[in-house]
Each structure stands twice: as structure tokens, then as C-alpha cells.
Amino acid sequence: MKTYIKLVFHSEGEKPSEVVDVLYGLGFEPQKGDYDMVYRWNNDATVSDAIWFADKIHATLKGMNVSYSIETSE
């Protein structure tokens, strides 16, 4: 399973490099393509794990004035 995140930065928000560093600390890796970063789960991950992780992403990005979308797929 993988969780992808797409970011939209705002001029009044944190610098993109700071946002990427914070997400890197959560285990995301930068990538090219439709999404900016990816988190690779182990084989035992569940949908509940993905929901918990989405909450963690939300709390981490709160106050950084960045918009994001996430998608988790097999």
C-alpha cells in the first residue's frame, strides 16, 4: 500500500522546503509525477492505519498554510 500527497503552497505559508522536511520526517519520500511525495507502507497496513496516518498528516501541516490532497492505494 502507498499513500501519495499532492501539495499546493501559498505565498503567506511556510517555505516549500520546510513543508517537505516535515513530511520527510513522517516517512514521505519526494517523487516526480502527479503527486509530490509518497509513503510506502509495509505489507501489514490496513485502511485504519491509513486513516490514522491521514489524521497525523493533517495535524502536522496545520498552521503551515499549505493545501494538500492525499490518496492511498494498493
Mean of pLDDT values over 23-47? 95
Mean of pLDDT values over 40-44? 91
- Domain assignment of residue 3, yes or no: no
Give the count of domains, the chain.
1
Rounded Cα gap, residues 61 and 74, in angstroms? 24
Residue 74's pLDDT is 86
3-state secondary structure 27-47: CCEECCCCCCEEEECCCCCCH
- The reported pTM is 0.91
Q: Give the closest residue to 63 by CA, choosing from 3, 17, 10, 6.
A: 10
- Domain assignment of residue 53, yes or no: yes
- Domain assignment of residue 43, yes or no: yes
- For the cut 90, the answer to whether the pLDDT of residue 43 exceeds it is no
- For the cut 90, the answer to whether the pLDDT of residue 3 exceeds it is yes
- Domain assignment of residue 34, yes or no: yes
Rounded Cα gap, residues 64 and 19, in angstroms? 8
